[in-house]
A and B are shown apart, each in its own frame.
Chain A
Amino acid sequence: MLEQSPPLITSFLVKIASRCNLACDYCYMYEHADQSWRSQPTIMSKKTVGLLAQRIAEYVEKTGMEKLLLVFHGGEPLLAGSERIVDATIEIRDRVRPGTTVDAAVQTNGTLLKDSDLRLFQIHGIGVSISIDGPAVANDLHRLDHKSKSSFPATFNAIRLLRGFPKVYSGLICVIDPSVPPQRLLDFFCELEPPNLDFLLPDATHVTPPPGRDTHPTLYKDWLLTLFDLWFDHYPHMRIRTFDNLLEAIAGLPGTTDSFGLGDVSLLTIETDGTYHDLDILKITKHGATSLGMDLEQNSIFDVASSEALDVHRELLSLVGLSLECRRCPVVSICGGGCVPHRYSETGFGNPTVYCSEMLALIQHAKQRVKDTLTITPSPKSAELVLDCDEVSCFDDHVFNKDLLHRLYYAESTHQRQRLRSVIAALGAKGNTEARALVDELAEAHEHRQLEVSVQPSIVFWISLSEQYFTGGIPKTIDGDPICKQDEYVSTIREWVKNGIPSGIRINRQDEMLRLPFGHTIVFEQGEFARKCEVIVREAFDLIGDWNPDLIKEMRWLSPEIQLIHDTTAHPNKAVSFSDNAVPHCLYISLRQDGGLLNAYDVADSLIHEHRHQRLYLLQASVPLITVDAPFVHSPWRAEPRPPSGLLHAVYVFCGLLQWWIHISHSTEGEVQSNARHEVGIIVSKLNEAFPTLQKTSLTAAGTSLVSALRQSYEKVT
C-alpha cells in the first residue's frame, strides 16, 4: 500500500435523488451489476443534507482547502426539486468557513427542467449540464422513459431554455453509439453551442465488453478516429472535453479526468441514505463495488479519505497500480491505464482498459495530427520592427518623439488589423452578412483608415472577445460572469470604417466594449456627476497643453479614450485609476476622493500617469525589455513584491510625473505649489530607492538602455 498523506477530496457527487424518470438502457446506476439503488431512500432527507454540510465544513476547516465542487446527481436530481438543490447548496455554503468557494452544478436529463428552476439556479450560481445523445434519432436509441417513449422533445426543450441562461449553461454530455454517424453528432451539437461537451464511451468491462465489438473489432476505433478528425479539422473551436484532455495529456499536462493520464482520487459520492461511496461508475463492475462502509453519521470525510478502501482505488491511478502490460506501453503517461471501471475483469482491475486498442490508436493518431499541424512561426510584430538600443533610450523623452512612436504605433496597428481581418472573415464565413460586408469595406478603405480603426481600444477588445469565442472560450468579466458574444458590434466598426473615428479625445463615451470586462466591480460615472467630472478632465487637459502641447497631440492618438470610473473596492480616500492591456489605449480615471472630487492638477497627474503606461505598453509590444519577469522585487510604491516589469512601469511613469510636478511647482503659488513640491519630494525619494533595484533585475540590452537613459534624465532634473 502507498505510504502517503490522504488524497484531497475536492468534488462531492451528491445523490440528491436515487430514482430516475427515464430508463436509459446503458445506465450504470440501474442497468449494470450494482442494484443497491433499490434500497436507497428516493430523496436525500434534509437531515442528511445537514449532516453533509457539517462534514464538508469540518473537512474544509481541517484541510484548509479554498475551493470545492458539489455535483447534484441522481438518478434524476430534479426529482428532488430545484428548491432542495438550492437549499442544500446554501446550507453547505453557509457552513464552510468564510472565503471558501463552493461551486455547484446539476447533472440532469433535463426533462423536468423549467424556466423557474433556471432562474433559481442563476440567482444562486448553480450550473446545469444536460445529458443528451444527439438528435432525436440518436437519443432515442437508448434514452427512453419507462413507457419506452422518447425523452428527446423534453430534453431538447430544456437545452433551448438553458441557452437563455449563459451563466447557468455548463455543458452537455453524450454517450456515444457507433451506429450514429460522427458528422451528424457534431452538426447537432455545434448548433447548441455548449460551453463544454463530453463524449463518453459506453461503460463496459472485460466481463461485459462494448456492444457490437465482438462482430466488428474496429467498430469503436474507426468511429473515434473519424470523430477526432472531423472535430480537429472542422469544429476545433468546440470544447470537447475528451479531446481537449487528450491533447493536454499529449502535451504533458496533468490529467483532469480519469479517462486520460495518471492522477489521484479527488471525488467522493454521497448516496441519498448518507453513506459514502467511491467513484459512481464502479457500479458497472459488481454489486456493492462503490461501498466504502462508512456514512455521514459515523465518519468524517477525512476518515473516508484516509481509508484503506479508497487507497486501493488510489493505487489504481498510479503507475505502480497498473498492469505490467500498461507499464510497458509507450503511451502509458498519456492514457494512464484508462478509466478504472473499464479495466475490470473476473480477476479484478489488473488489466488494460477494455478500450485499450481504441485508446492506443486514438492517442497515436492525435499525436501525429498535432505534429503535422504545429509549426513554428516568428511573432509578426517582432518581425516588422527592429529598434536599436540608442533608439530605445530616446523613449524616456517626455516630449513628442514623433518618428519612434509612429513606427511603434504602425507595427501595433498593422498587427491589430490582421487580427480584425481574421475575425470578420471568420464571422462572415459563419453567415454574418454585416461581417461579410465589412470584409470588403475594410479592404477598400484607405490604408490610414484601416489601421486607425483596427487599433481603437473598443475594437481591440472586441477582437479579443470574438477570438475567444472562436477558440471555444467563454470570456469572463473580472467578477467571473460570462461575457456574451457581441457580433452586432460589427455595425459600429462599419460606421467607423465608413465615416472615420470621432476626432479628439473621447471622454466617457458610452461604448460597452470599453466597459464589459470590468463587470460590476468598476462603476462608470453617469449623468450630472459624470458631466462635472468631465469639466475637470478638460481643465486638466488644458493644464497639460499649457505645459507641453506636443504631449496633448500624442495623447490624442495614443490614448484617445478616457472612461470616468469609480472602483467599488477602493478605500474612500483613494482615487484609483488604472490601465488594462485588455483594452489598450483607454485610460480609466477616477475623480472621487473623500466624498469630493480631485482638482485638475491631480487629474492631470492621473492622465499623464496612465498615458505613460500606454506608451510603455506600446514599446514592450515590439521590444522586450525584461528577460525573465522574476523573482519579484520590492517596489517603493507597493506593499507587496512586484514583478520586475511592474517596477519598470512604475519608474517609467514617475520619471514622467516628476517633470510634471516640477513644472507645477515652478509655475504656481500657494497651496497648489506646496502640494506640487510635496509630490516632487515623494517621487524623488521613491525613485532613489527604485532605480538601484530595477537595475539589478533581468533587463534586456534595450531595457538596460532605457533605464540608464531614464536615470540620466532623472539625475539632471534633480
Chain B
Amino acid sequence: MPIDKIVDEQSLQQLADDQLTEVWKHATPEHPALRRVHDKLNDSEGAAAAITSYDRMHHRHSRS
C-alpha cells in the first residue's frame, strides 16, 4: 500500500508494527537517531558511513 494511503487511513498512533516500519522508511526524519534508522531501513547505512565509495563513483569513464 502506498505510504500516503497508510497515513491517510490511520493515524501514526494506530499503526501496526510493519506499517510503522513502512512509514519510517518513507518519512524524512530530521531527528538524528530516527534518521539513522531511516537510512538503515533504506539500506543506505553503508553510504552514510562511507561518505563516498569507489562503487558509488559509478560514472567512471575510461579512455584507452
Question: Footprint of B on A, CB under 8 Å?
Answer: 231-232, 236-237, 239, 243-244, 247-248, 250-253, 333, 367, 370-371, 373-377, 379, 461, 464-465, 468, 470-478, 480, 483, 517-518, 521, 567, 569-571, 573-583, 593, 598, 602, 605-606, 609-610, 613, 646, 649, 653
Contacts and interface: CB of A to CB of B under 8 A. Distances in A.
A512 B48 CA distance: 20
Name which of A243, A373, A465, A468 has the most chain B CB atoms within 10 A of its CB. Answer: A373
B49 A374 contact: no
B64 A248 contact: no
7 contacts: A248-B40, A251-B37, A374-B12, A374-B24, A375-B27, A478-B57, A578-B60
A595 B31 CA distance: 51
Contacts of A373: 29, 31, 34
A633 B58 CA distance: 15
A582 B54 CA distance: 12
Nearest to A591: B63
Contact of B28 (A371, A377, A569): A377
Interface in B8-27: 12-13, 15, 17-18, 20-21, 23-24, 26-27
Contact of A253 (B28, B37, B63): B37
Contact of A376 (B7, B59, B61): B7
Nearest to A643: B58
A569 B40 CA distance: 30
Contact of B56 (A375, A582, A649): A582
A473 B48 contact: yes
B23 A376 contact: yes
A236 B30 CA distance: 11
Given A251-B41, A473-B49, A609-B61, 14 more contacts: A247-B37, A252-B18, A252-B21, A376-B28, A461-B51, A468-B48, A471-B35, A472-B33, A472-B36, A478-B52, A576-B61, A580-B57, A602-B63, A610-B59
A604 to B, nearest CB: 11
Contacts of A573: 64
A376 B34 contact: no
Contacts of B41: 251, 253
B23 to A, nearest CB: 6
A575 B21 CA distance: 45
A480 B50 CA distance: 7
Contacts of B51: 461, 464-465, 468, 475-477, 483, 517, 582
B32 A471 contact: yes
B55 to A, nearest CB: 9
A244 B36 contact: yes
A371 B23 CA distance: 10
Contact of A605 (B20, B59, B63): B63
Nearest to A569: B54
A333 B4 contact: no
B37 A379 contact: no
Nearest to A475: B51
Interface residues of B, number: 41
Given A577-B61, A610-B59, A646-B58, A251 B49 contact: no
A250 B20 contact: yes
Contacts of A252: 17-18, 21
- By Cβ-Cβ distance, the 7 closest A-B pairs, closest first, are A471-B32, A582-B52, A236-B33, A475-B51, A517-B52, A578-B60, A252-B21
A243 B33 contact: yes
Contacts of B54: 478, 521, 569
Interface of B: 3-4, 7, 12-13, 15, 17-18, 20-21, 23-24, 26-29, 31-37, 40-41, 48-54, 56-64
Contacts of A472: 32-33, 36
Nearest to A517: B52
Contact of A474 (B26, B32, B33, B49): B49
Contacts, number: 151
Contact of B21 (A251, A376, A461): A251
Name which of B26, B51, B54 has the most chain A CB atoms within 10 A of its CB. Answer: B51
A578 B23 contact: no
Contacts of A653: 59, 61
B64 to A, nearest CB: 5
A376 B27 contact: yes
Contacts of A477: 50-52
B41 to A, nearest CB: 6
Contacts of A583: 52
Nearest to A581: B56
A470 B20 contact: no
A51 B39 CA distance: 41
A376 B3 contact: yes
Contacts of A574: 62-64
Contact of A251 (B20, B28, B53, B56): B20
Given A371-B12, A376-B3, A575 B32 contact: no
Contacts of B63: 574-575, 577, 593, 598, 602, 605-606
Contacts of B62: 570, 574-576
B11 to A, nearest CB: 9
Contact of B52 (A237, A575, A580): A580
A583 B37 CA distance: 24
A649 B61 CA distance: 11
Contacts of A474: 49
Contact of B32 (A236, A376, A569): A236
A583 B51 CA distance: 10
A461 B4 CA distance: 32
Nearest to A646: B58
Contacts of A470: 32
Name which of B3, B27, B29, B62 has the most chain A CB atoms within 10 A of its CB. Answer: B62
Nearest to A614: B59
Contacts of A476: 49-51
A555 to B, nearest CB: 16
B16 to A, nearest CB: 11
A464 B39 CA distance: 14
Contact of B50 (A248, A478, A602): A478
Nearest to A473: B48
Contacts of B24: 251, 370, 374
Contacts of A471: 32-33, 35-36, 48
Name which of B17, B49, B61 has the most chain A CB atoms within 10 A of its CB. Answer: B61
Contacts of B35: 471
Contact of A370 (B20, B28, B56, B61): B20
Contacts of A478: 50, 52-54, 57
B60 A577 contact: yes
A244 B33 contact: yes
Nearest to B17: A252
Contacts of A610: 59, 61
B40 to A, nearest CB: 6
